[in-house]
Amino acid sequence: VSGPKRIALTGATGFIGRRLAAALRARGHSVRALVRDPARAERMEALAGCALVALDLEGAGAEGDTLARALDGAEVLCHAAAYIPPDQRDPAHAGRCLRVNALGTLALIEGAGRAGVGRAVHFSSGNVYAPSPDPVDEGAPTYPAARATYYLASKLCGELYVEHARRRGALRACTLRVSSVYGPGMVGGVVSLFADRLAGGARVRVSDGGRYRTDLVLLDDVVSAAVSAIEREAVEGIVNVGSGRATTLLELARTLADILGRGEDAIEVEPAREGVTDLGFSPLEITRARDILDYTTTDLVEGLRATVAAR
Ligand SMILES: NC(=O)c1ccc[n+]([C@@H]2O[C@H](COP(=O)([O-])OP(=O)(O)OC[C@H]3O[C@@H](n4cnc5c(N)ncnc54)[C@H](OP(=O)(O)O)[C@@H]3O)[C@@H](O)[C@H]2O)c1
């Protein structure tokens, strides 16, 4: 583990980036946040003490000078910005996903190589794997063709550009494949939706027998993994960051109802639909993260309690 670093961080105004910026500052690193709107970032408490530099990743490839200035002097690039479409099913968002998450990442990683930034830590998605009921390790096939494809394809493409830069020796790089993140400060998403409804005395409706599943990982665990990846210079390549197990929609609803003191009658379970083969995302095998990042995970009930308490 190395000493304090000069870190250029994208996505610092986001759900994960905000918490990561504060955690890096608390550990004595200097953080330069590359943000679209510095005036807005200036007002964010979590970014106090961070230097702010304007950078829009959409079209960044054509802005060589801006990129060079944004990355000048940085020792590590942490890339946590992404365009996450408001509607994952609408193909109209595919272009912007590619421009920001694929081409924006390409511009950034190539710019980092040119600027002499020695190392990059990149946030990708643990949902890029081909669906599997069992935990998938970093060597499992990727093929996100079932859902969130416009977004996930662009994440996978960005990840390939980073990995290619690493393999040709432009810089050292580590890609974190992060599963579905929940935690204090989240806006939108099924955990927030269910928690809001149940806390407000309403019922929640769970579709398709509640079979949809995803690997839910607590924000704090993801931030700890990212800090560790930034500080451990020897860590390279792909690393899964998840909880290591799948949670179904029904389990999530029941657990939240229990935490909020609501009974089984607060959950309306619609019958399982016939012929449904896409049941969500694969749980991640997290042995590599445990081994090389000293990664630990928080139990779902504990994490959901903390999330509910922070609302
Ligand atoms: N949340 C999850 O469950 C999850 C799971 C797996 C992987 N990830 C990955 O983790 C990273 C952080 O996700 P998050 O949940 O924190 O997302 P988020 O809350 O939506 O934040 C996205 C961040 O990206 C920035 N951004 C968007 N478009 C940009 C552009 N054109 N140029 C520069 N910055 C831009 C946003 O800036 P503005 O504030 O200006 O919009 C914001 O800071 C992303 O790479 C995401 O793909 C997230």
pLDDT at 158: 98
pLDDT at 186: 92
Is 37 near ligand 1, meaning CB less than 6 Å away? yes
- Is the pLDDT confidence value at 1 over 80? no
Model confidence at 248, pLDDT cuts 50, 70, 90, reads very high
pLDDT at 93: 98
pLDDT tens string 2-36: 789 999 999 999 999 999 999 999 999 999 999 99
Q: 173 or 278: which carries more pLDDT confidence?
A: 173
Which residue among 55, 129, 178 is best mutated to probe the pocket of ligand 1, counting the most ligand atoms within 8 A of its Cβ? Answer: 178
For the chain, what percent of residues have pLDDT higher than 90? 94
- Is the pLDDT confidence value at 287 over 80? yes
The yes-or-no answer on residue 151 being catalytic is yes
- Is the pLDDT confidence value at 171 over 90? yes
Sign of CA dihedral 248, 252, 253, 255: positive
Catalytic residue among 151, 161, 182, 212: 151
Closest atom, ligand 1, to C-alpha of 182:
3
Model confidence at 150, pLDDT cuts 50, 70, 90, reads very high
Which residue among 13, 55, 96, 307 is best mutated to probe the pocket of ligand 1, counting the most ligand atoms within 8 A of its Cβ? Answer: 13
pLDDT tens string 203-225: 999 999 999 999 999 999 999 99
Per-residue DSSP letters for the chain? -----EEEEESTTSHHHHHHHHHHHHTT-EEEEEES-HHHHHT-GGGTT-EEEE--STTGGG-HHHHHHHHTT-SEEEE------S-TT-GGGHHHHIIIIIIHHHHHHHHHHHHT--EEEEEEEGGGBPP-SS-B-TTS-B---SSSHHHHHHHHHHHHHHHHHHHTTSSEEEEEEE-EEE-TT--SSHHHHHHHHHHTT--EEESGGG--EE-EEEHHHHHHHHHHHHH-TT--EEEEES-SS-EEHHHHHHHHHHHTT--GGGEEEPPPPTT----B-PPBP-HHHHHHH------HHHHHHHHHHT-
pLDDT at 102: 98
Model confidence at 73, pLDDT cuts 50, 70, 90, reads very high
pLDDT at 22: 98
pLDDT tens string 180-195: 999 999 989 999 999 9
Model confidence at 276, pLDDT cuts 50, 70, 90, reads confident
Mean pLDDT of the chain: 96
pLDDT at 6: 98
